[in-house]
Chains A and B, each alone.
Chain A
Amino acid sequence: MRIRIRRASEPAASEITPEGLWLRRREFLQAGAAGAGALLLPSALSALESRADGLGALKAPRNATYSVSEDHTDYDDATRYNNFYEFGTDKQDPKKYAHTLVRDPWSVLIDGEVGKPGRLSFEDLVPRKALEERVYRLRCVEAWSMVIPWIGVPLGDVLKRFEPTRKARYVAFETLVDPEQMPGQRRRVLDWPYREGLRLDEAMNPLALLATGMYGRELPNQNGAPVRLVVPWKYGFKSIKSIVRIHLTEDQPFTTWNDSAPQEYGFYANVNPDVHHPRWRQSRERRIGEFGKRKTLPFNGYAEEVAGLYKRMDLAEFY
């Protein structure tokens, strides 16, 4: 029988970290960091909460001018009922499959009709210092709605930094294409990449927001991490998620749903209770969490802020 003598440098069996624990070491670091943060921050509770799904706290002062005072949609509902076809076409799919998205590092290309094009990280694009919280209604074309406290910066402020040229009339946005990270892209349900766009004056409206967080935390992957658009007076599909490119153009850009079914989804897609979709009556909506339906408001209740953008337009024609 061979007797093995332990060398001084060799750890005792009892000192060896089990592999399972070693593999989870980052969680302990994160938990520790969050715990330490909790002692320092006044928002201790939310910092502790954010450990569960690895999303950091993201706090910003609320902009009351642009916030509605309606009850927020339940966080669980807002993060388990999503249309994000890059992760599957069922509304439960994004929560199930979006964990494969690599949110950091993440860069966004800004090009086209701008004086200062560039590629920068999402945190340089949407600087933390400039963040504010806005509670917006979100109205889906499928006749359901939510109320979500977003954290972000006005899109117009961001665009100005890149100095749009005099030719710039539209802003086009693109979502990441990577079937490895976005398994829904393995099937050509839509013409990837998902693309959306706004007229430049719409993009410059103070309501248009580039968001990096919601509910006081970083955006969950299924909600469009790390950076997404929020245009609350338009149907939800205009608010493109996980943006990798912002392209300023002279001509009206390609937009995905408009391409997929032009008679159903217009370029403008303003919330309009009088213009119906072939499948959904738009005069009423079900607020997620409520039983009965409520009336849908013109421009989703933001007519005062945005109706002027469409003064001489027939909104039944430009739906």
Chain B
Amino acid sequence: MTRIRITAATVALGLLPLLVLVVRALRDDLGANPIEEVSHETGQWTLRLLLATLAVTPLRRLSGWSWLAPQRRTLGLLCFAWAVLHVSTWVALDLAFDFGAVVEDVLDRPYITAGFTGFVCLVPLAVTSTRAWMRRLGRRWTRLHRLVYVAAAAGVVHFLWLVKADLLEPGIYAAVLALLLAARLVRR
């Protein structure tokens, strides 16, 4: 029962920024370039939730809080939900379903190549997140889910290559990711 409650709280927290975004949109409060704003917001929340997902295991080991463990999947799925919103914003709002432009962007714009790679990595992880798939894949499940590291690296690179000159903000994400990866290496 408590586990369901904790999961419900995680979902509520993870979707709260979406509520904020919707309210801002309804109040016409997204600034001069609303599509860009939605794109940045959904992208940033994808990255934040991806890092939160990666933080679960080291945090659980450090603190011994076993109740954290099931939240890894919840956070991972929330991250995927934000990623879907982010990609949808790009395809539907920014490019107005011009699939030629989508393909061209993926091939020609390095930051989009990186971001798209990250998204593609997340898809099988979301699909195989159920208990049934865990059982079916057995040990291969763990190996498959190491793709999350590729996705995280690709996401951070996507952000780094997007900014023009000021690397501070993507640099913070890169530093947090490096810390989370280092925590895993130290463990071994």
Contacts and interface: CB of A to CB of B under 8 A. Distances in A.
Please determine whether chains A and B interact with each other in the same assembly. Answer: yes
A189 B165 contact: yes
Interface residues of B, number: 20
Contacts of B161: 279
A281 B31 contact: no
B31 A286 contact: no
Interface of B: 31-33, 35-36, 96, 101, 104-105, 108-111, 161-166, 168
Nearest to B40: A90
Given A89-B166, A190-B165, A279-B162, A286 B33 contact: yes
A80 B31 contact: yes
Given A276-B108, A286-B35, 16 more contacts: A76-B32, A80-B31, A81-B32, A89-B165, A91-B31, A91-B32, A92-B31, A187-B166, A190-B165, A260-B164, A278-B111, A279-B109, A281-B104, A286-B33, A289-B32, A292-B96
A149 to B, nearest CB: 17
A21 to B, nearest CB: 33
A319 interface: no
A268 interface: no
A182 to B, nearest CB: 15
Q: Which of B35, B101, B161, B164 has the most CB of A within 10 A?
A: B164
Interface of A: 74, 76-77, 80-81, 85, 89, 91-92, 144, 187, 189-190, 260-261, 276, 278-281, 286, 288-289, 291-293
Contacts of B36: 144
Contacts, number: 51
Q: Which of B32, B110, B165 has the most CB of A within 10 A?
A: B32
24 contacts: A80-B32, A81-B32, A81-B33, A85-B165, A89-B164, A89-B166, A91-B31, A91-B32, A187-B166, A187-B168, A189-B165, A190-B165, A260-B164, A260-B165, A279-B111, A279-B161, A280-B109, A281-B101, A281-B104, A281-B108, A286-B33, A288-B32, A292-B96, A293-B96
B105 A281 contact: yes
Nearest to A89: B166
Nearest to A280: B109
Contacts of B101: 281
Contacts of A260: 164-165
Nearest to B169: A89
Which 5 A-B pairs give the minimum distances between C-beta atoms?
A81-B32, A77-B32, A89-B166, A189-B166, A189-B165
A81 B165 contact: no
